[in-house]
């Protein structure tokens, strides 16, 4: 083999290996490309190369009227479309100076929390698959399917739902919505216990995740990491509590935090978050108020000139929308703050000194979606 | 002419046996893949292959044909000769070893007095194919896979060897036939005398065949496909066959040494003689299953092939059932010569299947170890444990000879001592 230019030698005098992981690789969760510098199997440097799924979503936003752009945000984090929709609709509502009626806020909260559970289930299945446990994937997809069925019954779509409209909801809840949601929540506890049976105290699982990709609280804050990744490092920060939106201030729930900031803690935090989401849903479903589901806004949305930044706690972290209006029917500038992209910044710090096998564990634990990283 | 035929007779018999074993093992391997897909599917709330034949029973044939017809790619910059050779080495090593496996009392291709040594040697050769294949591909992922498999083999071979020694101490022979006969004479399978050794052999066997949780050389979520990333078509299928054949082989070794080989459970207890009829009953059950499946098929012309195939399968099962129960009157008592002839092979296969189910079950349950954890498990737990086990086993045998303790009691004492050491070893390992 010829010597690769720019490659230095390692301590033992051997060549460093440059290993390209992705964009086509089973465990990079899409089209992430990671350029790893290896000494044997040890990672001594890494570089994330992104952009393979770039569609210019933000630029498209400048060329669509406000209502037209709403389906596009579903396609950023495409496994948590409902959450994206909530963030965007609320940002535009703030720009317009209106607010969705209480009934709409309640339904939005329920659907968003269901979406959080669905997103975490997908994360759990794929993360376990990356670490070599192939079975949890099918169990989590079985439960996720129930959530997608509820979405489908509600708005006709399963994945890219476009469930909410600016100003509230387009559809009233269907007959039997409450029963479906309650039935799902009743089963969920047992199902989560089932996953935990397979993983939580499994010696191999613990050895593979504990002390892997450690991120201290200071480092996490410095890097701007949010969501479960930040909370696992011990920082109690959740936008649902800090700046309540929709109907979150009406419900009781805990913010689970970790201690070590390692992959195992992030696993535990997300498992607990699913239980907390279930708690929120059960409270909300009991107290949905009656009333209109749509605020009184005009047919043509022309927000006054100005700018707004609104962020929500998406399943993966802080999802923010920054919209500048010039008073026309289209945004002057639209910017999305994607949690996946910013969490991915921590990758290099987390991966250094670990082995190749840990790289996929760390990509999995960051819970990135490339649609959102690249937009 | 007659003398020539007579002189050629042993060779002819050997040839027939080779063909039977080769075909039998190939079929077994093909259906092992099918069984794995089915069992995993049912563990994972799926149904698995269902389309090709009833319950997907012809899936292995379809897969084999597909692999044969696929384009065979040799990557640019690969070392062609070695790239060619590697899968062949793996396959030959896996299949050659079957020449010594005693499937039944008189059914092995050959029996050698160094049987076990030869088996271990030949089966480790298979890893050479993996190393060469990974090296010659001229690609990073296969290279890493090959490096991992080398390290893995070296560490677990040692533990496996030590664990096998304790069975040898009990049998007093390296010949595979003699080892089973020793278990028949002593009236107890060696697993009940040496459970720790069996445990080590089973774990090491999983590691040697690169199965989950030790499937690092081909960890698909890390190394794409590990050492066979660059292989495709027919050559890939050779590697694939070799891997599954190796699984059957290590299970056979474990069965021969620890689970009484071809012996029926309770072989020396007359009260359990009814177990001799189990092989026939299995085929009766298969026929009944076919009947049930036919009755459950929906009506309609599009199901006629399924129905026909189920009828054929059922008829075949009934036929085998009848042939097995072909009675012959000997000295005024009924005897079943055909049933007697397949007795050994049947029980051997039952035990091998049980172990193979364990392999598949593990794959559905465990996450994968990391490379350094695998090494630390091997060197800091398995190998010390295996050495301690051999020492205590030897002491136990000496104890039973010098005193009036019987062998079982003294070996159980030895096992208790070994388990104590195991607890100490586990305690010392950091988590």
Q: What would the pLDDT profile of A12-68 be if each residue is shown by its tens digit?
A: 666 778 888 878 777 777 788 888 888 877 888 888 888 888 888 889 988 888 888
Q: B140 in contact with A at a CB cutoff of 8 Å? A: yes
B35-83 pLDDT, tens digit per residue, is: 988 998 988 888 888 888 777 888 888 888 888 888 878 888 778 888 8
Residue B24 lies in a domain: yes
Query: pLDDT tens across A199-244, in order?
Result: 888 888 888 888 888 888 888 899 889 989 999 998 888 888 888 8
CA distance A177 to A172: 10
Domain assignment of residue A48, yes or no: no
Same domain, B237 and B309: no
**Cross-chain residue pair B45–A139, CB shorter than 8 Å:** yes
Name the band, by pLDDT with cuts 50, 70 and 90, for residue B220: low
Measure CA A362 to chain center.
Answer: 15
Task: Say yes or no for a CB contact (<8 Å) between B368 and A360.
Answer: no
pLDDT score of A47: 87
Q: What is the mean pLDDT of chain A?
A: 87
Looking at B331, B347, B362, which one is the last position of a domain? B362
- A337 vs B419, residue with greater confidence: A337
Q: In the numeric block, which tokens belong to residue A285? A: 């479903």
Better-predicted residue by pLDDT, A56 or B425? A56
Q: Is A240 exposed, middle or buried (0-12, 13-18, 19+ CB in 10 A)?
A: buried
Total structural domains within chain B: 2
Using alpha carbons only, what angle is made at residue B371 by residues B204 and B225, rounded to the nearest 5 degrees? 90
3-state SS of B337-368 is HHHHHHHHHHHHHHHHHHHHHHHHHHHHHCCC
Please report the ipTM that was assigned to this predicted complex.
Answer: 0.77
Burial class (CB within 10 angstroms; exposed 0-12, middle 13-18, buried 19+) of B406: exposed
Tell me if B97 is assigned to some domain: yes
Residue in A41, A202, A204 closest to B144 by CB:
A41
Q: Band of the pLDDT at A9, cuts 50, 70, 90?
A: low
What is the average per-residue pLDDT within A329-343? 90
A11 inside domain: no
H or E element: which one contains A373?
Answer: helix A370-374
* Of residues A10 and B102, more confidently modeled: B102
Q: Are residues B406 and B358 in the same domain?
A: no
Domain shared by B258 and B346, yes or no: no
Alpha helical stretches, state H, B231-370: 233-258, 278-296, 304-324, 337-365
Tokens of B53: 């034949």
Supply the pLDDT for residue B108. 73
Residue B305 Cα distances to A121, B53, B75, B299, B367, angstroms: 41, 8, 42, 12, 41
Asked if B371 reaches chain A (Cβ–Cβ under 8 Å), the answer is: yes
Q: Which class for B176: exposed (0-12), middle (13-18), buried (19 or more C-beta within 10 A)? A: buried
pLDDT bin (cut points 50, 70, 90) of residue A1 is: very low
Give residue B1's pLDDT.
59
Q: How confident is the model at residue B217 (pLDDT cuts 50, 70, 90)?
A: low
The token duo for A331 is: 């945004």
Residues of A in contact with B223 (CB under 8 A): 356
- Is position B175 within any domain? yes
| Three-state SS at A305 | coil
Which band of pLDDT confidence, cut at 50, 70 and 90, is reported for residue A322? very high
pLDDT above 80: residue B394: yes
- Residues of A whose CB is below 8 A from B369: 132, 204, 207-208
Residue B184 and residue B289 share a domain: no
Q: For residue A52, is it within any domain?
A: no
Q: Model's pTM, two decimal places?
A: 0.83
Interface of A with B (CB under 8 A): 1, 17, 19-20, 25-27, 40-41, 128-135, 137-139, 142, 198-199, 202-208, 210, 355-360
B48 touches B38 (CB < 8 A): yes
Of B46, B144, B220, the CB nearest to A356: B144
Phi and psi (nearest 5°) for A331? -65, 145
Q: Pick from B362, B388, B420: which residue ends a domain? A: B362
Three-state SS across B39-107? Answer: HHHHHCCCCCCCCCCHHHCCHHHHHHHHHHHCCCCCCCCCCHHHHHHHHHHHHHHHHHHHHHCCCECCE
User: Do B414 and B321 reside in the same domain of the chain?
Assistant: no
The one-character DSSP state at B331 is T
B107 and B244 inside one domain: yes
**Is there a single domain that holds both residue B118 and residue B92?**
yes
Is pLDDT above 50 for A308? yes
Q: Identify the H or E element spanning A150.
A: helix A136-155
What does the mean pLDDT of chain B come to?
82
What pLDDT is stored for residue B431 in this prediction? 43
CA distance A133 to chain B (A): 4
**DSSP-derived secondary structure letter, B382:** I
What is the CATH classification number for the domain harbouring A343? Answer: 1.10.645.10
Cα A219 to Cα B214: distance, rounded to the nearest angstrom: 34
**Interatomic CA distance for residues A146 and A185, integer angstroms:** 10
- Cα(B316)–Cα(B325) distance, rounded to whole angstroms? 14
Reading the block at residue A252, the tokens are 């009781």
Q: By residue range, what is the domain housing residue A200?
A: 57-374
Name A359's Cβ contacts closer than 8 Å, sequence gap at least 6.
Answer: A21, A34, A36, A43, A46, A351, B222
Task: Give the Å distances, CA to CA, from A210 to A48, A142, A202, A333.
Answer: 24, 28, 12, 43
- Phi, psi (degrees; rounded to nearest 5) at B212: -55, 140
Q: How many domains does chain A have?
A: 1
Q: Across the strands, what pairs with A308?
A: A323
Query: Within a domain: residue A149?
Result: yes
**Looking at A296-305, B109-118, B252-261, which range is the least confident one?**
B109-118
Residues B349 and B245 in one domain: no
Interchain CB contact of B40 with A (< 8 Å): yes
Supply the range of the domain harboring residue B379.
17-263+363-428
| B412 & B296 share domain | no
Task: Indicate if B247 and B282 belong to the same structural domain.
Answer: no
Tell me whether B374 touches chain A (CB under 8 Å). Answer: no
Taking CB atoms and an 8 Å cutoff, what residues of chain A touch B431? 203, 206-207, 210
Report residue A91's pLDDT band, with 50, 70 and 90 as the boundaries.
Answer: very high
By Cβ distance, the residue of A26, A206, A359 closest to B431 is A206
Instruction: Please report whether residue A9 resides in a domain.
Output: no
Lookup result for tokens 């697993």: B191
Asked if B364 and A134 come within 8 Å (Cβ–Cβ), the reply is yes
| B45 in any annotated domain | yes
CB contact under 8 A, B215 and A202: no
Convert the pLDDT of each residue in B312-360 to its tens digit: 888 888 888 887 777 777 776 777 777 777 778 888 888 999 999 998 8
A-chain CB neighbours of B145 within 8 Å are none
Supply B182's token pair. Answer: 């020793």
Residues of B in contact with A40 (CB under 8 A): 147
Q: Looking at chain A, which runs of residues are DSSP E strands? A: 17-21, 33-39, 42-49, 164-165, 168-169, 306-314, 317-325, 331-337
């Amino acid at each position: 083999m010829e010597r690769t230019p720019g490659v230095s030698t390692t301590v033992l005098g051997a060549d460093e290996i440059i290993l390209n992981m992705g964009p086509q690789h089973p465990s990079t969760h899409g089209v992430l490309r990671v350029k790893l510098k290896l000494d044997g199997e040890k990672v001594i440097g890494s570089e994330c190369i992104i952009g393979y799924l770039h569609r210019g979503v933000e630029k498209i936003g400048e060329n669509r009227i406000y209502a037209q752009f709403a389906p596009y945000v579903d396609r950023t984090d495409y496994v948590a479309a409902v959450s994206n929709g909530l963030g965007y609709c609320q940002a535009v509502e703030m720009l317009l100076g209106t607010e969705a009626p209480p009934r709409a806020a309640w339904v939005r909260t329920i659907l968003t929390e269901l979406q959080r559970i669905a997103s975490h289930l997908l994360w759990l299945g794929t993360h376990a698959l990356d670490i070599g446990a192939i079975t949890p994937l099918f169990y989590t997809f079985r439960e996720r399917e129930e959530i997608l069925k509820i979405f489908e019954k509600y708005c006709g779509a399963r994945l890219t739902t476009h469930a909410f409209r600016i100003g509230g909801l387009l559809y009233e809840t269907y007959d039997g919505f409450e029963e479906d949601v309650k039935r799902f929540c009743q089963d969920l506890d047992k199902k989560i216990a089932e996953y935990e049976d397979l993983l939580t105290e499994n010696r191999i699982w613990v050895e593979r995740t504990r002390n892997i990709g450690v991120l201290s609280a200071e480092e996490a804050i410095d890097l701007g990491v949010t969501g479960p990744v930040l909370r696992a490092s011990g920082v109690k920060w959740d936008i649902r509590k800090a700046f309540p939106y929709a109907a979150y201030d009406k419900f009781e729930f805990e913010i689970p935090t970790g201690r070590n900031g390692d992959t195992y803690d992030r696993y535990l935090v997300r498992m607990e978050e699913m239980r907390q989401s279930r708690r929120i849903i059960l409270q909300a479903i009991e107290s949905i108020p009656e009333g209109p589901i749509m605020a009184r806004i005009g047919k043509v949305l022309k927000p006054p000139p100005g700018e707004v930044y609104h962020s929500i706690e998406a399943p993966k972290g802080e999802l923010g929308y920054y919209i500048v209006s010039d008073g026309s029917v289209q945004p002057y500038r639209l910017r999305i703050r994607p949690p996946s992209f910013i969490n991915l910044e921590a990758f290099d710090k987390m991966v250094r000194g670990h082995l190749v096998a840990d790289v996929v564990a760390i990509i999995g634990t960051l819970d990135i979606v490339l649609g959102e990283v690249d937009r | 002419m007659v003398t020539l035929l007579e002189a050629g007779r042993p060779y002819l018999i050997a040839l027939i046996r080779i063909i039977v074993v080769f075909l039998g093992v190939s079929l077994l391997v093909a259906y092992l893949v099918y069984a794995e897909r089915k069992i995993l599917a049912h563990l994972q709330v799926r149904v698995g292959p269902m389309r090709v034949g009833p319950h997907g029973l012809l899936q292995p044939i379809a897969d084999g044909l597909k692999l044969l017809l696929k384009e065979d790619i040799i990557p640019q910059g690969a070392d062609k000769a070695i790239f060619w050779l590697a899968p062949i080495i793996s396959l030959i090593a896996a299949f050659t070893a079957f020449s010594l496996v005693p499937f039944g009392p008189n059914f092995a291709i050959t029996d050698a007095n160094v049987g076990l040594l030869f088996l271990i040697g030949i089966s480790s050769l298979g890893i050479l194919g993996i190393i060469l294949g990974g090296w010659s591909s001229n690609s990073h992922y296969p290279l890493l896979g090959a490096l991992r498999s080398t390290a893995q083999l070296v560490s677990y071979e040692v533990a496996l060897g030590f664990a096998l020694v304790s069975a040898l101490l009990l049998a007093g022979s390296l010949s595979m036939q003699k080892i089973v006969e020793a278990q028949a004479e002593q009236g107890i399978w060696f697993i009940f005398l040496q459970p720790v050794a069996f445990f080590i052999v089973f774990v090491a066997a999983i590691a040697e065949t690169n199965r989950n949780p030790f499937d690092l050389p081909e960890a698909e979520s890390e190394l794409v496909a590990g050492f066979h990333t660059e292989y495709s078509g027919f050559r890939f299928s050779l590697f694939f066959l070799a891997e599954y054949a190796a699984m059957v082989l290590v299970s056979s070794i474990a069965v021969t040494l620890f689970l009484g080989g071809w012996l029926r459970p309770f072989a020396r207890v007359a009260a359990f003689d009814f177990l001799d009829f189990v092989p026939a009953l299995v085929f009766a059950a298969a026929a009944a299953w076919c009947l049930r499946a036919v009755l459950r098929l929906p009506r309609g012309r599009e199901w006629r092939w399924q129905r026909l195939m189920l009828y054929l399968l059922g008829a075949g099962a009934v036929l085998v059932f009848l042939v097995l129960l072909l009675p012959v009157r000997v000295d005024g008592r009924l005897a079943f010569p055909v049933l007697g002839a397949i007795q050994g092979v049947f029980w051997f296969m039952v035990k091998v299947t049980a172990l193979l189910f364990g392999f598949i079950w593990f794959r559905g349950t465990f996450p994968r170890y990391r490379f350094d954890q695998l090494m630390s498990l091997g060197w800091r737990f398995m190998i010390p444990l295996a050495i301690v086990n051999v020492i205590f086993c030897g002491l136990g045998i000496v104890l039973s000879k010098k005193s009036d303790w019987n062998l079982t009691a003294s070996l159980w004492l030895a096992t208790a001592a070994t388990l104590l050491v195991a607890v100490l070893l586990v305690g010392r390992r950091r988590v």
